[in-house]
Amino acid sequence: MPEKELDRAVQGEYKLGFEIDIEQDTVPPGLDEETIRFISRKKEEPEWMTQLRLKALRRWKSMEEPRWGHLYYEPIDYQSISYFSAPKKGPESLDEVDPKILEAYDKLGIPLEEQKQLAGVKVAVDAVVDSVSVKTTYSEELKKHGIIFCSISEAIRDYPELIKKYMFSVVPMNDNFFAALNSAVFTDGTFVYIPKGVRCPMELSTYFRINALNTGQFERTLIVADEGSYVSYNEGCSAPMRDENQLHAAVVELVALKDAEIKYSTIQNWYPGDEEGKGGIYNFVTKRGICEENAKISWTQVETGSSITWKYPSCILKGDNSVGEFYSVAVTTLAQQADTGTKMIHLGKNTSSTIISKGISAMKGQNIYRGLVKIGANATGARNYSECDSLLIGDRCGAHTFPYLESKDAHGQVEHEATTTKISDEQLFYLRQRGIGEEDAVSMIVHGFCKEVFSQLPMEYAVEAKALLNLTLEGSVG
Amino acid sequence: MSAIMKIENLHATIGGKEILKGLNLDLEEGKVHAIMGPNGAGKSTLSKAIVGHYDVKITDGDIIYKGESIVDMEPEERALEGIFLSFQNPVEIPGVNNAYFLRTAVNAKRVHEGKEELNAAQFLRLMKELVNELGMKTEMINRSLNEGFSGGEKKRNEILQMMMLQPELIILDEIDSGLDIDALRAVSEGINKMKDGKRSFLVITHYSRILDYIQPDYIHVLKDGAIVKTAGAELVAELEEKGYAALEEA
Amino acid sequence: MRPVDLKGISGKRIMELSLANKSMERAAKRLAELGIPDRKSEEYRYFDIEPLMEKEWEPAVKRRPQMIERAHRLVITDGMISSMPEGLEVGCSDTLDLDVSHFDPMYYFGHLFGGDILQIRVKRDMKLEIKHIFTQPGKLLTYRVAIYVDANVKLGIYESFEAEEAKNALIVSGIDLFAARDSRVALYKDQTLFESDYTPLFSYRFKIDGNAEVKFASFDMGSGNGLQTLHAQLHENSSILSDHLLYAVENARRGTVSKFVHIGRSSQSRQRAKSILADRARGIFDALIKVEHSGKYTKAHQNSKAVLLDSGAYMASKPQLEIYIDDLEASHGSTTGQLDEKELFYLRSRGIAYEEAKKMLILAFANEIIDSIDDENIKERIHSSFEYSYYGKNIIECIQTCHGCEKTVTMSQND
């Protein structure tokens, strides 16, 4: 199966750049209180939610777009974006989902049909097209375990207490410019709740797709793992090829209560634009998790898409003995720019964090690792280990490492290592002497470089990630 | 007797410096040729030139392999045609699994020869057999390619690859360096097993020790970029006794 | 004299100064671009610059001495030369080949408000000692020094500071070093500060031409605040070795912000920082290596190690790489932790008291940098500076634990 996947992958070009031809219900571009009310009304939200959105909008208006990233792009005109787009046919039940959407998800290789099982593993999927969750699978089966897996709109309607308690608790609405924007206009996303002591029996998964023209996608994900529970969650994404840039500003909040564990994996493959930097998604994402005592949050990301990536999945290690992990592969080729990394905030005693970041730059790609490790004064016995390696392919790309390591003496240890290399001629030659073609040899070395990160992904996603990596690097080698 | 490889008037430079200065050498099918010579004579450059190493620039002359010039061929093409070099210092490649790498190489060769690819099970069975035969630890199958291997382990791994790839011309560059006596025995047993009357060997060595284990048919002495003497196995004893300097007078 | 209000410096005043000449005009332009540093300035992120910049400063008076004495060293008192060795070529000028890409606004501030630049030209191999003396408490002293080292010349500089009468002063200064082709320059800066001493904001600029080699080593010690910023530009085959030993105690905030730019091919940089932080001291190491597209075959290595001795100590480490070419070797590493338990235990198991074992390990940690000084004389002086500030701080502890000081103990008991 891996071979088949690889074969499928090595076709070059952005393969997911098709457009779904479905009728859209789209609000005209622009952002003011009226837009917010419109979205809220469309989603039949309770008044408290509308008020929260309006508050976020007011906050956002007083904030400035951050420019500290090592990123170069034309200013974004926030009034030219449409903040709501939904397939016109509202999918009330699973049977009503527009067959065209199902077909589209089929093209993406996402099993929406419940009987379809990937590699023998059950995967429950929530699919989000533009702003609206179109289908959630397996939710009935999950309900038996008391697990809630639904769109965030449904959650606001059906589980207001959980939402009120946890939404904005990890990423406050005024956390940063993009988080504030999302808090005002978020249209859908996924909500997961795992009750006490429950080990979620299957992988949970959400696929996001931006389809409509001139729209931004602003989804919001909230995962709450109650005491002693476990969940593994995956997200994937894609967008059609378009000449103009599209904005994606998402927020993800994770809450891992005492002894809970959340594994969050992302395969990000938004349209990257072309070699001249034309088109592509601007991906400004805020992801953060909070760990209570003995809890563990593990972020794994494979970032191959988007023309601009700005995201730092972070862990607040509040509880004693809690653990945070960040594993990342970021590939920038064409004219892509990625400023990504993590923040590990150690507050509790004996907390530990691990950061493994692998950046690969090819063609004109610019890859930036930016990370913060902070050991608080009370975090006695805290430990961090970071390793940030960059691989350069070709002489027009760039690789940059900007770690911030702040340590209060709490009998902790912070260790950071970074290297920047190119593929060595010697390694390449060795493989070629054994009869392996140049491109395959490069791909083999690159995969070896990323291995530590891929091994963190659930098996079937690791296959997808590897295929995606090959696809992305296709044509940028040599 | 037909020659598997003919090297004609080979001139080659490394970093702009001429190392091989008109080297002529015929390698016979099914025979073991040993190249001996002092340090800096150009022994490793010769092996690099044959496999198309990026360091070496051929400025004149030709290398004919099975009747065709190979000097313009890519390294992997030469490998697929059956040329195998056991490297003096095999490089470490972190993260690339040994078995995965070797299976890719074996299957590339099989596809090139129009054969079915080996599936994972077939391949592993074969690999395990040879790993045991060479006295290697089975855990190295799943380790990263050469990473953290001892000198002996690396050399055994080279021989393992050789046995899996079944090449026709085998170049052994200082195969005995850094080997203890047990490893040396295991390695040379592997090599001797490959002798089938068709396969040819080019053993490059500074010391004669390895030649006690692998019986050469011909000894060539390489000095200052050219072959200065060719003789039978009896030359080993003579070189051992008198050293390379004695050749000056000869 | 009119007080200088840093944040309130008007565009008008800068305009006036910028009219003087081309280099002043450039300095004014760059200062306007970068702005007077504040809380949000990345290069002053961990330093707490705001209170210094908000204060209204009265400029220090620069007095031209009656006559310049002959001495074995160059002495600069409040920004003016008061004595100098025979044969040293020194001049004053208000123009300079300014570094137009320094990241530190205070570099430009220094050039704009520092008056004439003391310019030293070195034409033959020599050793030079520069002593800076500050005498005016509570004032803002601004001056710059430029050193031109001719091609193929070998120069060793030892820079020391004396400021017993300059409490609470702010010193904005630094050196522009021009290392011509094939020159070899070593610059050792030995600066111990005590709380309520002056605060140095020193910006260095190293222009390193082809094949030239610069070694910079700073030995920053004590309880006072201070920041040095370094900007090095490396041309073909040139190299910089930069070592920073920091020993900060009490409430000190002290450190290095640097940016080494590899412009030419085959240039090399190696930077080592070792920080020992006690009490509530904060150490800063914020260092960027940038390899331009033209910097093929660069070798750049950077390493920071910090030891935190007390629970209030704090280390901010920001080792950074910015790379635009694939054919190079670059790495950095950073560790922050405590003294090694195993080593401590080993020493104690051999009968060495805990405090003594700690000292041994700290000295060993520091000596790795001090012992790499080639010049025996300078090495000796730095050893004694370090020991002075190290034992000076621990004097009470020393009296209590050191058996050699029984006399002192008796005396203090009598008190």
Segment C150-162 mean pLDDT: 95
Interchain contact A321–B (C-beta under 8 A): no
Q: What is the mean pLDDT of residues A233-244?
A: 73
pLDDT in the model for residue A235: 85
CB contact A395 to C (< 8 Å): yes
Same-domain status, C198 and C73: yes
> A452 touching B, CB under 8 A?
yes
Res A1 pLDDT > 70: no
Give yes or no for a contact between B228 and B242, defined as CB atoms under 8 angstroms apart.
no
CB of C336 within 8 Å of a chain A CB? The answer is yes
CB C143 within 8 A of CB C79: yes
Give the per-residue pLDDT at A94: 43
Name the residue among C180, C275, C289 with its Cα closest to residue C230: C289
Q: Which residues in chain C touch residue A373, judged by CB atoms under 8 angstroms apart?
A: none
Q: What is the mean pLDDT of residues A37-46?
A: 89
Over residues B204-215, mean pLDDT: 86
Whether residue C321 is found in the same domain as residue C387: no
Task: Say yes or no for a CB contact (<8 Å) between A445 and B79.
Answer: no
Nearest Cα of chain C lies from the Cα of A416 at a distance, in angstroms, of 5
pLDDT at residue A39 is higher than 60: yes
**Is the model more confident about A66 or about A25?**
A66
Using a CB-CB cut-off of 8 Å, the residues of chain A touching B84 are 433
Q: How many angstroms separate the CA of residue C13 from the nearest CA in chain A? A: 30
Question: A435 and B112: CB-CB below 8 Å?
Answer: yes
Assess whether C321 and C383 both reside in one domain.
Answer: no
List the 104-123 stretch of C: residues with Cβ below 8 A of A. none
Domains identified in chain A, total number: 1
Q: Is C247 in the same domain as C230?
A: yes
Q: Are residues C391 and C286 in the same domain?
A: no
Residue A114 banded pLDDT, cuts 50, 70, 90: very low
Facing A404 at nearest CB: one of C296, C318, C338: C318
Examine the domain organization and report whether C333 and C403 are in the same domain: no
Tens of pLDDT, residues C355-408: 877 887 888 889 889 988 989 999 999 988 888 888 765 444 444 444 444 333
**Which pLDDT value is given to residue A155?**
93
Over range A177-186, report the average pLDDT.
94
Q: Nearest C-alpha of chain C: how many angstroms from A170? A: 25
Pairing of strands C239-248, C213-222: parallel
Q: Regarding predicted confidence, which is higher, B49 or A208?
A: B49
User: What's the domain count of chain B?
Assistant: 1
Q: Which chains touch A (3 or more CB pairs under 8 A)?
A: B, C
**B54, B94, B165 member nearest A429 (Cβ):** B54
- Are A420 and C330 an interchain contact pair (Cβ–Cβ within 8 Å)? yes
Residue C355 C-alpha, separation from nearest chain A C-alpha, in angstroms: 17
In angstroms, the separation between the Cα of residue C294 and the nearest Cα of chain A is 10
Question: Is the per-residue pLDDT at A179 higher than 80?
Answer: yes
| C150-171: average pLDDT | 93
Any contact of C with B, at least 3 CB pairs below 8 A?
Answer: no
| Cα angle value A187/A190/A191 (rounded, 5°) | 120
Residue A18's pLDDT band (boundaries 50, 70, 90)?
low
Q: Give the pLDDT confidence of B102-115 residue by residue, as tens digits.
A: 888 899 899 999 99
- Inter-chain contact A419–C311, Cβ cutoff 8 Å? no
C chain contacts of residue A374, beta-carbon cutoff 8 Å:
none
Higher local confidence (pLDDT), B52 or A6: B52
- Helix, coil or strand: residue B229: strand
Q: Which helix (H) or strand (E) holds B157?
A: helix B151-165
Indicate if the pLDDT at residue A467 is higher than 60. Answer: yes
Does some domain include residue A21?
yes
Chain B nearest CA to A463, separation (Å) = 15
Contacts of B91 in chain A (CB under 8 A): 424, 426-427, 430
pLDDT at A124 over 70: no
The region that residue A406 occupies, defined by phi over 0 for left and psi between -120 and 50 for alpha, beta otherwise, is beta
User: What string of H, E and C letters represents the secondary structure of chain A?
Assistant: CHHHHHHHHCCCCCCCCCCCCCCEEECCCCCCHHHHHHHHHHCCCCHHHHHHHHHHHHHHHCCCCCCCCCCCCCCCCCCCCECCEEECCCCCCHHHCCHHHHHHHHHCCCCCCCCCCECCECEEEEEEECCEEEEECCHHHHHHCCCEEEEHHHHHHHCHHHHHHHCCCCCCCCCCHHHHHHHHHCCECEEEEECCCCECCCEEEEEEECCCCCECECEEEEEEECCCCEEEEEEEEECCCCCCEEEECCEEEEEECCCCEEEEEEEECCCCCCCCCCCEEEEEEEEEEEECCCCEEEEEEEECCCCEEEECCEEEECCCCCEEEEEEEEEECCCCEEEECCEEEECCCCCEEEEEEEEEEECCCEEEEEEEEEECCCCCCCEEEEEEEEEEECCCCEEEEEEEEEEECCCCEEEEEEEEEECCHHHHHHHHHCCCCHHHHHHHHHHHHHHHHHCCCCHHHHHHHHHHHHHHHCCCCC
- DSSP character for B198? S
Of C277, C293, C321, the CB nearest to A401: C321
Closest CA to C228 of C213, C245, C212: C245
Smallest Cβ–Cβ distance between C321 and the set A400, A407, A410 belongs to: A400
Q: Which chains touch C (3 or more CB pairs under 8 A)?
A: A
CA distance B77 to chain A (A): 7
Residue A287 has pLDDT above 60, yes or no: yes
Burial class (CB in 10 A: 0-12, 13-18, 19+), C352: middle
Could you say which of B75, B95, B109 has the minimum Cβ distance to residue A451? B95
Q: Is C134's pLDDT higher than 50?
A: yes
Angstroms from A125 CA to nearest CA on chain C: 40
Note the pLDDT of residue C94. Answer: 81
* Confidence label for C139 from pLDDT (cuts 50, 70 and 90): very high
Segment B2-29 shows an average pLDDT of: 94
Q: Which of A457-466, C82-91, C192-201 has the lowest mean pLDDT?
A: A457-466
Question: Of the ranges A345-354, A402-411, C7-16, C372-381, which is most confident?
Answer: A345-354
Q: Does the pLDDT of residue C311 top 70, yes or no?
A: yes
Contact C325 A390 (CB under 8 A): no
- Reply yes or no on whether the pLDDT at C69 is more than 60: yes
pLDDT, averaged across chain B: 89
Residue A212 confidence class, pLDDT cut points 50, 70, 90: low
Mean pLDDT of chain A: 83
Contact C332 A407 (CB under 8 A): no
C121 vs C128: CA distance, rounded Å: 12
Of A426, A436, A448, the CB nearest to B91: A426
Residues of chain A in contact with residue B80, where contact means CB-CB under 8 angstroms, are 435
Question: What's the domain count of chain C?
Answer: 2
Write the pLDDT tens digit of every residue in A83-97: 877 665 544 444 555
> Quick check: A435 contacting B, CB < 8 Å?
yes
Checking if the pLDDT of A129 tops 50, the result is: yes
Confidence tier at C203 by pLDDT (50, 70, 90): very high
Do the beta carbons of residue A353 and residue A325 sit within 8 Å? yes
Q: Please name the amino acid found at residue C155.
A: L
Please report whether residue A453 resides in a domain. Answer: no
Residues 358-377 of chain A with CB under 8 A from chain C are 375, 377
pLDDT at res. C411: 32
Residues C128 and C262 in one domain: yes
pLDDT confidence tier of residue A6, bands split at 50, 70 and 90: very low
Q: ipTM score of the complex?
A: 0.81
Q: Which domain holds residue C84?
A: 4-338
Mean local confidence (pLDDT), C236-245 = 97
B-chain residues near A437 (CB < 8 A): 76, 108
In this prediction, residues B194-213 reach a mean pLDDT of 89
Averaged over B50-71, what is the pLDDT?
93
**Nearest chain B CA: its distance from A449 CA (Å):** 6
Lowest mean pLDDT among A446-455, C3-12, C106-115: C3-12
Whether the per-residue pLDDT at A117 is higher than 50: the answer is no
Q: A405 and C316 in contact by Cβ < 8 A?
A: yes
Q: Which amino acid is at A448?
A: G
Contacts of B51 in chain A (CB under 8 A): 433
| A130 pLDDT above the threshold of 90 | no
Domain shared by C74 and C123, yes or no: yes
Boundaries of domain holding A413 = 17-435
Percent of the residues in chain C that have a pLDDT greater than 90, as a whole number: 62
Has residue A63 got a pLDDT over 80?
A: yes
Confidence of residue A201 (pLDDT cuts 50, 70, 90): confident
Under an 8 A CB cutoff, do A413 and C337 touch?
A: yes
Nearest by CB to residue A429, choosing from B75, B94, B161, is B75
Question: Shortest Cα distance from C348 to chain A (angstroms)?
Answer: 20
User: By three-state DSSP, how is residue C388 classified?
Assistant: helix
Predicted pLDDT at C20: 77
| Percentage with pLDDT > 70 across chain A | 80
Domain that holds residue B174: 3-249
Predicted local distance difference test score (pLDDT) of residue C414? 33
Residue C161 shares a structural domain with residue C39: yes
Does the pLDDT of residue A118 top 70, yes or no? no
B62: CATH: 3.40.50.300
Residues of chain A contacting C40 with CB distance shorter than 8 Å: none
* Residue scoring higher pLDDT (C24 or A195): A195
Whether C221 has a pLDDT exceeding 90, the answer reads: yes
Q: What is the mean pLDDT of residues C221-247?
A: 96
CA distance C214 to A117: 64
Chain B residues close to A7, C-beta within 8 Å: none
Among the partner residues A395, A403, A414, nearest to C326 by beta-carbon distance? A395
- Inform me whether the C-beta atom of residue B108 falls under 8 Å from chain A C-beta atoms: yes
Binary contact (C335, A406; C-beta < 8 A): no
Asked if residue C156 and residue C296 are part of one domain, the reply reads yes
- Residue C123 has a pLDDT of 93
Residue type, B228: V
Q: What pLDDT shows up at residue B2?
A: 83
Residues 338-397 on A with a CB inside 8 Å of B are none
Sign of torsion over alpha carbons A81, A84, A89, A92: positive
The band of C6, judged by pLDDT with boundaries at 50, 70 and 90, is low
**Range of A141-150, A198-207, C133-142 with top mean pLDDT:** C133-142
pLDDT tens track for A408-426: 877 889 999 999 888 888 8
Q: What integer pLDDT is reported at residue B26 of this predicted model?
A: 95
Tell me: do C224 and C361 sit in the same domain: no
Question: What pLDDT is stored for residue C400 in this prediction?
Answer: 44
**C234: pLDDT strictly greater than 70:** yes
Mean pLDDT of chain C: 88
C341: contact with A, CB 8 A cutoff: no
Percent of chain B with pLDDT over 90: 50
